[in-house]
Amino acid sequence: MITTLRPILATLCALLCAWQARAADPAAAATADAQAPARKAVLVTGASTGIGRNMVDALTKAGYFVYAGARKASDLETLGKLEHVEALKLDVTVQADVDAALATVQARGRGLYGLANNAGIAVIGPLIELDEAELRDQFEVNVIGVQRVTRAFAPLLIESRGRIVTTGSIAGTLAGKLAGPYSMSKHAVEAFTDSLAAEMERFGVGVSVIEPGNYKSDISLAVARRLESHGLNPDKSRYAEEWKAMLARPKDRSQFGEPDAVSAALVHALGAAAPQRRYMVVPNAREAEMTVRKSLEKTVQLNANQPYAYDREGLIKLLDELLAAQPKP
C-alpha cells in the first residue's frame, strides 16, 4: 500500500513545492510560466480597474498570459496574485517605467504577442476656459503615452507578428459641451490607429481600435476627484448650468453594465485571422445610432458645396463598395 502511494505523494509534494516557490518569488513564477506552451503574452496598460481589469480576466480565460500594468502598489499586489498574470509598475507618462517594463518582459523570455493600450484619463471642461496644463495632461496619457508604450514594445511585436489594440471611445466620433479635451484625445487615437496600421502592415502586425460606449468603470469618479482637486467652482464658469448638470450625474456608473463586450472585442482582435480595424462596442441601439449618424453627418459635411461633390447616387455607390469590402465576421 505504501509503495502504491509513493508516486502520488511525490506528485503532491512537487505541486506543493511549486506553489510555494510561486508565492515566494513572483518573478521566478513568471519565468516558469514563460516555459509553458501555448500561452501567448499580452501587455495591458491601465489594468487595475474597470475595462482594464475586465480585459485581464478575459485574456487569462482565453488562454493568454498577461503582463498587467498599473501604478499603485496596492493594485500591483492584487494583480500579482492572479494566475497567469504578472503585475508591472507602469505609468505610461514615465519613460523610466516603460523602459523597466520592457526590460522585465524581455528578461522573462516569453516574447510579446499583444499590446492593449488601455490606460487613459478624462479631462472635462469648456475649451475656452480650460488651462493649458489640463489639456497637456489629457494628451500626455491618452495620446503620447499610447505612442510611448507602442514605440517601446514594437520590436517584440514585430518579432512575433503580433497585434496592437488601443482603447478609444465613441467620443472619438462624438463630441459635445465640456467633453472637448477627452474627445480630442480619442479622435487622435483614431488617426494613430490608421497611421500605425499602414506602417505595421509590412511586418504582419495587426492594428485595431476598440471604441466603447457607456460601461461600468471608474472614469466618472476619477473626473470628480480631478475637478475637486482643482477647486472647480461652476458658478464662476460661463457654462455653469452645463457643469451643474454634469456634476449631478451618478459618479459610480453603476447604472451601466460590465464591459464584458469590450474585452470580448479585444480577444477577437488578438485572435482573429482577419481582425477588424474598428470595434464599436455599445450597450444599446441609441448609442450605436448616435455614433454612426455622426460619422455619416461628417461625410455629408465634407461632401457639401465642393467642386467634386457626389450626388446621392454616387454616395450610395461608394457606401455599397465599402460594405462589400468589409471583412466577414
CA angle 261, 42, 79 (to 5 degrees): 80
- Annotate 203-260 with DSSP letters as a single string: GT-EEEEEEE-S-S-SHHHHHHHHHHHTT--GGGSTTHHHHHHHHTS-SS-TTSPPTH
Q: Which one-letter amino acid corresponds to residue 80?
A: G
Give the start-end residues of each E strand in 248-304: 278-281
Count CB atoms within 10 A of the CB of residue 130.
16
Return d(Cα 109, Cα 35) in angstroms, integer.
Answer: 8
CATH of range 31-283; options 3.40.50.300, 3.40.50.720, 2.30.31.20, 3.40.109.10: 3.40.50.720
Q: What is the dihedral of CA 180, 183, 185, 190, to 10 degrees?
A: -150
CB contact at 8 A, 186 and 213: no
Determine what percent of the chain falls in helix, strand and coil, rounding each to the nearest 5.
Answer: 55, 10, 30
Q: Residues 135, 156: contact at Cβ < 8 Å?
A: no
Q: Where are the domains of the chain?
A: 31-283, 286-329
Cβ atoms < 10 Å from Cβ of 98: 22
Examine the residue annotation and report whether 182 is marked as an active-site residue of this protein. Answer: yes
Any idea which residue has 516603460 for its cell? 98
| CA proximity to 42, closest of 125, 97, 144, 112 | 112
3-state secondary structure of 182: helix
Task: Give the alpha-carbon dihedral of 170, 171, 172, 175, to 10 degrees.
Answer: 130
- What is the rounded CA–CA span in Å between residue 42 and residue 255? 30
CA distances, 275 to each of 161, 210, 268 (Å) = 13, 11, 7
The phi, psi pair for 217, rounded to 5°, reads -160, 180
Marked catalytic residue, from 182, 239, 279, 310: 182
Q: How far apart are CA 76 and CA 101, in angstroms?
A: 13
pLDDT of residue 247: 84
Return d(Cα 289, Cα 295) in angstroms, integer: 10
Q: Can you tell me the distance from the alpha carbon of 289 to that of 131, in angstroms, rounded to the nearest whole number?
A: 33
Question: Per-block average pLDDT, block size 10, for the chain (329 residues)?
Answer: 42 40 46 57 96 98 98 97 98 98 98 98 94 96 98 98 98 96 98 98 98 84 74 86 86 82 98 96 97 97 97 97 87
Q: For the whole model, what pTM was predicted?
A: 0.86
